[in-house]
Chain A
């Protein structure tokens, strides 16, 4: 393997990770690197899935945060996904 062509990350909308900052950091750290210097950062942003802590209703949320459960109006929603930072794939040559 001579070089890394691409790095694929999954950054959930509830992860607290700022995508622009992540991209900036990646570019800064890889510039001039033998293996990573020409690599592309591919970022996927999966929608968050939340579960109501009271009635258990499961809902999708493509925005920053769902305000409340549409069924019981409870506001404490537990993220089931979309709160993680995941290294998905590395493509090499």
Chain B
């Protein structure tokens, strides 16, 4: 009898708890939902709206931003720098990722071999990735400086070049130099992710492969790469999404110059909005960036769907 009453009280208390509980559950998520809405939802909507408005310096005084249809987009496309910015963005993204990934994979495979201090060396390798980008930019600017930078002094000293290379001062070299710096920054991240991917491949696969004569390059193409493809896919898509929007490094190294040789969609968007105060045109450019990221995002979400479902 007492037992039955007790059970009922607990049941009642639980029932009452459940209703209050669904409210509590909402409260767990509410702050994050509000923050995500304010920090991502609102900006996306606001950029879409602004890109259809004449949103300029005047707007900040009068509060007026008349709708002008697609004029910001036609101004964007007809700008003489637009095609160059598109090409530079593509070169910057593809060049950075190809080398970050290639070098990252080589280093990850190297560190996969067990040797003394391997783990320590591998974790110290992360340092370039953790430094503030503007710190890296400043450092590389001193290294790449034309007259007295250590790179040119070393190359001249080794008789590899006759004239100092104007790494950041010549329109024909600057983009290559900027891509080089970005590769340096991205290698550690690629090594870390690829290494963790390699670590998940069971050792038995290699032992079995060895019996079938799969060693060296054959082991790589038949065992390593097929098992690494999921991680590699995520990494490449993340690489595109992160690289396409890079702004700090370019602003710190060249500011888009010399002679606009390193302008990308991101730097152009920044300049329209925060230098020219044409927020409408800046928004149009940044919407193009979102659209491009989104194309790759679809691949990215496909390749991570497995991870999410788990």
Co-assembled chains A and B: no
Q: B: which residues have CB within 8 A of A?
A: none
